[in-house]
Homo-oligomer: A and B are copies of this chain.
Amino acid sequence: MDAMSLIESTLTTAMLRAETGGGPPKLAAAMRHAVFPRGARVRPRLCLAVASACGADRFDAAVAAGAALEFLHCASLVHDDLPCFDDAATRRGRPSVHAAFGAPIAVLAGDALIVLAFQTLALGCAVQPGPVIALSGIVAEAVGMPGGIVAGQAWESEDEVDLARYQRAKTSALFAAAAMAGAASAGEDPLPWRALGDNLGDAYQIADDLCDAAGDAASCGKPVGRDAALHRPSAVRRFGIEGALDLLDEVAERAASSIPDCPGVASLRALIVQEAKRLVPKGLARAAA
Protein backbone atom coordinates (compact mmCIF):
# COMPACT_ATOMS: atom_id res chain seq x y z
CA MET A 1 0.00 0.00 0.00
CA ASP A 2 1.42 3.44 -0.88
CA ALA A 3 1.83 6.13 1.76
CA MET A 4 -1.30 8.07 0.82
CA SER A 5 -3.52 4.97 0.87
CA LEU A 6 -2.08 3.93 4.22
CA ILE A 7 -2.83 7.36 5.67
CA GLU A 8 -6.39 7.51 4.30
CA SER A 9 -7.08 4.00 5.49
CA THR A 10 -5.88 4.86 9.01
CA LEU A 11 -7.94 8.06 9.14
CA THR A 12 -10.99 6.21 7.82
CA THR A 13 -10.70 3.38 10.33
CA ALA A 14 -10.32 5.81 13.23
CA MET A 15 -13.29 7.84 12.06
CA LEU A 16 -15.43 4.71 11.75
CA ARG A 17 -14.59 3.81 15.33
CA ALA A 18 -15.79 7.28 16.41
CA GLU A 19 -18.97 6.97 14.36
CA THR A 20 -19.90 3.47 15.48
CA GLY A 21 -21.65 2.78 18.76
CA GLY A 22 -24.61 5.12 18.81
CA GLY A 23 -23.02 8.51 19.41
CA PRO A 24 -24.82 11.77 18.55
CA PRO A 25 -25.26 11.85 14.74
CA LYS A 26 -24.63 15.57 14.16
CA LEU A 27 -21.27 15.47 15.91
CA ALA A 28 -20.29 12.38 13.93
CA ALA A 29 -21.25 14.08 10.66
CA ALA A 30 -19.36 17.25 11.61
CA MET A 31 -16.18 15.32 12.39
CA ARG A 32 -16.37 13.53 9.04
CA HIS A 33 -17.02 16.85 7.28
CA ALA A 34 -13.82 18.25 8.85
CA VAL A 35 -11.57 15.37 7.79
CA PHE A 36 -12.99 14.13 4.47
CA PRO A 37 -12.75 14.38 1.53
CA ARG A 38 -9.05 14.36 1.84
CA GLY A 39 -6.78 17.38 1.86
CA ALA A 40 -3.16 17.11 0.79
CA ARG A 41 -2.33 15.20 4.03
CA VAL A 42 1.02 16.98 3.95
CA ARG A 43 1.90 16.38 7.60
CA PRO A 44 1.35 12.61 7.68
CA ARG A 45 3.14 12.27 4.34
CA LEU A 46 6.12 14.14 5.79
CA CYS A 47 6.07 11.89 8.85
CA LEU A 48 6.13 8.75 6.71
CA ALA A 49 8.74 10.15 4.34
CA VAL A 50 11.08 10.90 7.25
CA ALA A 51 10.51 7.45 8.79
CA SER A 52 11.33 5.92 5.43
CA ALA A 53 14.41 8.12 4.96
CA CYS A 54 15.58 7.01 8.42
CA GLY A 55 15.41 3.41 7.23
CA ALA A 56 12.41 2.34 9.34
CA ASP A 57 11.59 -1.36 8.99
CA ARG A 58 7.98 -0.92 10.15
CA PHE A 59 5.61 2.02 9.88
CA ASP A 60 2.76 1.39 12.35
CA ALA A 61 3.90 4.08 14.77
CA ALA A 62 4.72 6.57 12.00
CA VAL A 63 1.31 6.13 10.40
CA ALA A 64 -0.40 6.48 13.78
CA ALA A 65 1.52 9.67 14.59
CA GLY A 66 0.91 11.07 11.12
CA ALA A 67 -2.82 10.39 11.36
CA ALA A 68 -2.86 12.00 14.80
CA LEU A 69 -1.22 15.13 13.40
CA GLU A 70 -3.74 15.24 10.54
CA PHE A 71 -6.70 15.01 12.97
CA LEU A 72 -5.14 17.79 15.04
CA HIS A 73 -4.63 19.92 11.93
CA CYS A 74 -8.29 19.40 10.98
CA ALA A 75 -9.39 20.20 14.55
CA SER A 76 -7.45 23.45 14.48
CA LEU A 77 -9.09 24.48 11.20
CA VAL A 78 -12.56 23.81 12.66
CA HIS A 79 -11.86 25.95 15.70
CA ASP A 80 -10.01 28.68 13.75
CA ASP A 81 -13.06 29.08 11.49
CA LEU A 82 -15.42 29.68 14.45
CA PRO A 83 -17.30 32.99 14.62
CA CYS A 84 -15.19 34.09 17.61
CA PHE A 85 -11.98 33.70 15.54
CA ASP A 86 -11.86 33.98 11.73
CA ASP A 87 -15.62 33.63 11.22
CA ALA A 88 -14.94 31.82 7.93
CA ALA A 89 -18.03 30.48 6.18
CA THR A 90 -16.08 28.27 3.77
CA ARG A 91 -13.11 25.92 3.95
CA ARG A 92 -11.64 23.74 1.19
CA GLY A 93 -14.35 25.17 -1.07
CA ARG A 94 -17.22 23.89 1.11
CA PRO A 95 -19.12 25.30 4.07
CA SER A 96 -16.94 25.41 7.18
CA VAL A 97 -18.05 23.10 10.01
CA HIS A 98 -19.71 25.87 12.01
CA ALA A 99 -21.48 27.15 8.88
CA ALA A 100 -22.82 23.66 8.18
CA PHE A 101 -23.53 22.44 11.73
CA GLY A 102 -23.59 25.50 14.00
CA ALA A 103 -20.99 26.80 16.46
CA PRO A 104 -21.79 24.40 19.34
CA ILE A 105 -21.23 21.29 17.21
CA ALA A 106 -18.13 22.91 15.67
CA VAL A 107 -16.59 23.45 19.12
CA LEU A 108 -17.32 19.84 20.02
CA ALA A 109 -16.10 18.48 16.67
CA GLY A 110 -12.74 20.14 17.27
CA ASP A 111 -12.62 18.72 20.79
CA ALA A 112 -13.54 15.23 19.62
CA LEU A 113 -10.92 15.34 16.85
CA ILE A 114 -8.21 16.27 19.37
CA VAL A 115 -9.23 13.27 21.45
CA LEU A 116 -9.40 11.03 18.37
CA ALA A 117 -5.86 12.09 17.51
CA PHE A 118 -4.38 10.87 20.77
CA GLN A 119 -6.55 7.75 20.71
CA THR A 120 -5.39 6.92 17.18
CA LEU A 121 -1.78 7.45 18.19
CA ALA A 122 -2.03 5.14 21.21
CA LEU A 123 -4.04 2.39 19.53
CA GLY A 124 -1.86 2.50 16.40
CA CYS A 125 1.21 1.99 18.57
CA ALA A 126 -0.24 -1.13 20.21
CA VAL A 127 1.72 -3.28 17.75
CA GLN A 128 4.84 -1.08 17.97
CA PRO A 129 4.75 0.32 21.51
CA GLY A 130 8.40 1.30 21.87
CA PRO A 131 8.08 4.91 20.69
CA VAL A 132 4.57 5.66 22.04
CA ILE A 133 5.64 7.87 24.92
CA ALA A 134 8.13 9.85 22.82
CA LEU A 135 5.53 10.26 20.07
CA SER A 136 2.84 11.39 22.51
CA GLY A 137 5.22 14.01 23.83
CA ILE A 138 6.15 15.22 20.35
CA VAL A 139 2.53 15.42 19.21
CA ALA A 140 1.31 17.14 22.39
CA GLU A 141 4.11 19.68 22.23
CA ALA A 142 3.08 20.56 18.67
CA VAL A 143 -0.47 21.38 19.70
CA GLY A 144 -0.51 22.60 23.29
CA MET A 145 1.23 25.23 25.35
CA PRO A 146 3.65 26.91 25.22
CA GLY A 147 4.57 26.60 21.53
CA GLY A 148 1.94 24.51 19.74
CA ILE A 149 -0.85 25.48 17.34
CA VAL A 150 -3.29 26.31 20.14
CA ALA A 151 -0.71 28.69 21.58
CA GLY A 152 -0.24 30.12 18.09
CA GLN A 153 -3.94 30.87 17.77
CA ALA A 154 -3.93 32.42 21.25
CA TRP A 155 -1.26 34.93 20.23
CA GLU A 156 -4.01 36.58 18.15
CA SER A 157 -5.62 37.60 21.45
CA GLU A 158 -2.46 39.29 22.74
CA ASP A 159 -1.67 42.97 22.24
CA GLU A 160 1.98 42.35 21.35
CA VAL A 161 2.94 39.55 18.99
CA ASP A 162 6.35 38.35 17.81
CA LEU A 163 5.70 37.36 14.17
CA ALA A 164 8.31 34.59 14.14
CA ARG A 165 7.05 33.02 17.38
CA TYR A 166 3.43 33.33 16.25
CA GLN A 167 3.97 31.67 12.88
CA ARG A 168 6.25 29.02 14.30
CA ALA A 169 3.57 28.02 16.81
CA LYS A 170 0.65 28.34 14.44
CA THR A 171 2.07 26.50 11.44
CA SER A 172 5.59 25.18 11.86
CA ALA A 173 4.86 23.30 15.08
CA LEU A 174 2.86 20.56 13.33
CA PHE A 175 5.46 20.22 10.57
CA ALA A 176 8.27 20.02 13.10
CA ALA A 177 6.29 17.35 14.95
CA ALA A 178 5.71 15.42 11.73
CA ALA A 179 9.41 15.31 10.92
CA MET A 180 10.40 14.52 14.50
CA ALA A 181 7.73 11.84 14.87
CA GLY A 182 8.91 10.18 11.67
CA ALA A 183 12.42 9.96 13.09
CA ALA A 184 11.29 8.87 16.57
CA SER A 185 9.07 6.15 15.10
CA ALA A 186 12.16 4.74 13.37
CA GLY A 187 14.09 4.74 16.63
CA GLU A 188 16.18 7.79 15.72
CA ASP A 189 16.81 10.90 17.81
CA PRO A 190 14.01 13.30 16.78
CA LEU A 191 15.72 16.57 17.69
CA PRO A 192 17.96 16.97 14.59
CA TRP A 193 14.78 16.76 12.48
CA ARG A 194 13.09 19.77 14.01
CA ALA A 195 14.80 22.24 11.65
CA LEU A 196 13.41 20.51 8.55
CA GLY A 197 9.88 20.69 9.94
CA ASP A 198 10.30 24.27 11.10
CA ASN A 199 11.53 25.37 7.69
CA LEU A 200 8.75 23.52 5.85
CA GLY A 201 6.20 25.04 8.20
CA ASP A 202 7.61 28.49 7.51
CA ALA A 203 7.33 27.79 3.77
CA TYR A 204 3.68 26.71 4.08
CA GLN A 205 2.85 29.75 6.19
CA ILE A 206 4.38 32.13 3.66
CA ALA A 207 2.54 30.32 0.85
CA ASP A 208 -0.68 30.66 2.83
CA ASP A 209 -0.08 34.35 3.35
CA LEU A 210 0.53 34.75 -0.41
CA CYS A 211 -2.66 32.84 -1.18
CA ASP A 212 -4.63 35.05 1.20
CA ALA A 213 -3.19 38.24 -0.27
CA ALA A 214 -2.99 37.39 -3.98
CA GLY A 215 -4.89 34.16 -4.57
CA ASP A 216 -8.55 33.68 -5.35
CA ALA A 217 -11.09 31.99 -3.10
CA ALA A 218 -11.67 29.13 -5.56
CA SER A 219 -8.08 27.94 -5.79
CA CYS A 220 -7.39 28.62 -2.09
CA GLY A 221 -10.61 26.84 -1.05
CA LYS A 222 -11.37 29.52 1.53
CA PRO A 223 -12.09 33.25 1.69
CA VAL A 224 -9.07 35.41 0.85
CA GLY A 225 -8.01 38.84 2.10
CA ARG A 226 -8.66 37.87 5.72
CA ASP A 227 -5.20 38.73 7.06
CA ALA A 228 -5.55 42.40 6.07
CA ALA A 229 -9.22 42.53 7.15
CA LEU A 230 -8.43 41.05 10.57
CA HIS A 231 -5.08 42.91 10.93
CA ARG A 232 -3.34 39.58 11.33
CA PRO A 233 0.42 39.33 11.08
CA SER A 234 1.44 38.07 7.63
CA ALA A 235 4.63 37.83 5.59
CA VAL A 236 2.92 39.72 2.73
CA ARG A 237 1.76 42.53 4.99
CA ARG A 238 5.30 42.79 6.31
CA PHE A 239 7.43 42.29 3.17
CA GLY A 240 5.07 42.78 0.20
CA ILE A 241 4.28 40.17 -2.45
CA GLU A 242 7.74 40.17 -4.03
CA GLY A 243 9.46 40.09 -0.67
CA ALA A 244 7.31 37.17 0.44
CA LEU A 245 8.08 35.28 -2.78
CA ASP A 246 11.81 35.79 -2.19
CA LEU A 247 11.40 34.59 1.37
CA LEU A 248 9.54 31.48 0.22
CA ASP A 249 12.41 30.57 -2.16
CA GLU A 250 14.93 31.10 0.59
CA VAL A 251 13.02 29.07 3.18
CA ALA A 252 12.39 26.16 0.77
CA GLU A 253 16.11 26.04 -0.01
CA ARG A 254 16.88 26.09 3.71
CA ALA A 255 14.43 23.21 4.28
CA ALA A 256 16.03 21.01 1.63
CA SER A 257 19.49 21.59 3.04
CA SER A 258 18.46 21.00 6.66
CA ILE A 259 17.79 17.28 6.28
CA PRO A 260 20.01 15.38 8.71
CA ASP A 261 22.28 12.67 7.37
CA CYS A 262 20.27 9.46 6.93
CA PRO A 263 20.03 6.49 4.52
CA GLY A 264 17.39 8.20 2.34
CA VAL A 265 18.66 11.79 2.38
CA ALA A 266 18.83 12.17 -1.43
CA SER A 267 15.30 11.05 -2.23
CA LEU A 268 13.86 13.02 0.70
CA ARG A 269 15.64 16.16 -0.53
CA ALA A 270 14.17 15.67 -4.01
CA LEU A 271 10.71 15.28 -2.51
CA ILE A 272 11.06 18.49 -0.51
CA VAL A 273 12.15 20.49 -3.55
CA GLN A 274 9.22 19.13 -5.57
CA GLU A 275 6.70 19.97 -2.82
CA ALA A 276 8.08 23.49 -2.42
CA LYS A 277 7.44 24.26 -6.11
CA ARG A 278 3.78 23.33 -5.67
CA LEU A 279 3.40 25.93 -2.92
CA VAL A 280 3.53 29.12 -4.99
CA PRO A 281 -0.05 30.25 -5.74
CA LYS A 282 -1.01 30.04 -9.41
CA GLY A 283 -0.45 33.38 -11.15
CA LEU A 284 2.49 34.24 -8.90
CA ALA A 285 4.84 31.51 -10.14
CA ARG A 286 8.02 33.08 -11.46
CA ALA A 287 9.56 32.14 -14.79
CA ALA A 288 12.70 31.14 -12.95
CA ALA A 289 10.88 28.88 -10.49
Contacts and interface: CB of A to CB of B under 8 A. Distances in A.
A108 B26 contact: no
A110 interface: yes
A145 interface: yes
A137 B126 CA distance: 10
A115 interface: yes
A144 B115 CA distance: 6
Is the contact region of chain A dominated by helix, strand, or loop, or is it mixed?
helix
A117 B270 CA distance: 38
A27 interface: yes
Interface residues of A, number: 59
A148 B112 CA distance: 9
Contact of A114 (B27, B104, B105, B111): B111
Chain B CB within 10 A, most for which of A22, A23, A115, A153: A115
A138 to B, nearest CB: 10
A165 to B, nearest CB: 7
B119 A137 contact: yes
A224 to B, nearest CB: 22
A158 to B, nearest CB: 5
A195 B193 CA distance: 46
Given A122-B140, A132-B132, A158-B26, A110 B112 contact: no
A156 B103 CA distance: 13
Given A122-B132, A144-B116, A151-B27, A82 B107 contact: yes
A26 B137 contact: no
A84 interface: yes
Contacts of A148: 112, 115
Interface string A161-178: 000010001000000000
Contacts of A59: none
Nearest to A124: B133
A136 interface: yes
Interface in A90-148: 102-105, 107-108, 110-112, 114-116, 118-119, 121-123, 125-126, 129, 132-133, 136-137, 140-141, 143-148
Contacts of A27: 145, 150-151, 154, 157
A112 B132 CA distance: 20
